[in-house]
Amino acid sequence: MALRLGDKVPDFTQESTEGPIQFYDWAGDSWVVLFSHPKDFTPVCTTELGEVAKLKPEFAKRNVKVIALSVDDVDSHKGWAQDIEETQGAALNFPVLADADRKVSDLYDMIHPSANDTLTVRSVFVIDPNQKLRLTLTYPASTGRNFDELLRVIDSLQLTDNYSVATPANWQDGEDCVIVPSLKDEAVLKEKFPKGYTVVKPYLRMTPQPNK
């Protein structure tokens, strides 16, 4: 069954480039970005793994661990890692799961038979510290993933988990936010949003980002 937003993601134990990983234990109290690749030594995925290695400090600032998956074995992954460092100028600094038995691919519904009945699709899962699925994206093989967008979404999720706001279209960290429609009491609004807010429409109220 496909995972849906809000579902608790499955636990698993699987080999990786950094040794066996028991997923819940490895994740601990961090957010996690799990992203899959159809196989090793593929061109678009090579650029993606290099980009994530470069962005690891940005993920770490947000208490996010990153972990990749490909259906090949650990020895293959380690050979691919050499190519990634050579061509992308960044060494792998996060684990890559070896999923030759398709265990994790099946648990997370990464095999889409209409696209390919043996290889994983290029999926992304953002998982919170309670092991709840908060975002999922699936990309076609021809289109590289936008990891800056994943950082933007994580910024939004972490903000909106802690304040009574949502983030509008194209929002970037530091920009104005939307007050959630369920909040109506004027006294509560003044307490929660001391910087004030602008009423565009009764259902559309903008306020400066509360934690900035």
Tens-digit pLDDT profile for residues 24-46: 999 999 999 999 988 899 999 99
Tens-digit pLDDT profile for residues 180-205: 999 999 999 999 999 999 999 999 99
Same domain for 147 and 93: yes
End position of a domain, from candidates 141, 158, 175: 158
Same domain for 168 and 121: no
Same domain for 142 and 41: yes
Same domain for 187 and 98: no
Tens-digit pLDDT profile for residues 95-147: 999 998 889 988 998 865 444 444 556 899 999 999 999 999 988 888 999 99
Same domain for 134 and 192: no
- In a domain? residue 6: no
Same domain for 183 and 139: no
Task: Please list the active-site residues.
Answer: 45
pLDDT the model gives residue 114: 43
- In a domain? residue 7: no
On whether the CB atoms of residues 165 and 178 are closer than 8 A, the answer is yes
- Domain housing 197: 163-207
Which residues, including other chains, have CB under 8 Å from residue 61's CB and lie 6 or more apart? none
Same domain for 100 and 64: yes
Same domain for 143 and 185: no
pLDDT above 70: percentage of residues in the chain: 94
| Angle between helix 74-88 and helix 43-61 axes, rounded to 10 deg | 80
* CATH at 74: 3.40.30.10
3-state SS record for 57-72: HHHHHCCEEEEEEECC
- In a domain? residue 2: no
Same domain for 98 and 66: yes
- In a domain? residue 81: yes
CA distance 120 to 113: 9
Tens-digit pLDDT profile for residues 56-90: 999 999 999 999 999 899 999 999 999 999 999 99
Tens-digit pLDDT profile for residues 149-186: 999 999 999 999 999 999 999 999 999 999 999 999 99
> Tokens 């590289």 label which residue?
144
Same domain for 97 and 34: yes
Same domain for 120 and 26: yes
| Beta-bridge partners for 32 | 65, 127
On whether the CB atoms of residues 133 and 127 are closer than 8 A, the answer is yes
pTM: 0.92
Find, among 134, 171, 180, the residue nearest to 30 by Cα.
134
pLDDT the model gives residue 190: 92
∠ Cα 78 80 85 (to 5°):
95
Into how many domains does the chain fold? 2
CA distance 34 to 48: 13
Same domain for 198 and 123: no
- In a domain? residue 112: yes
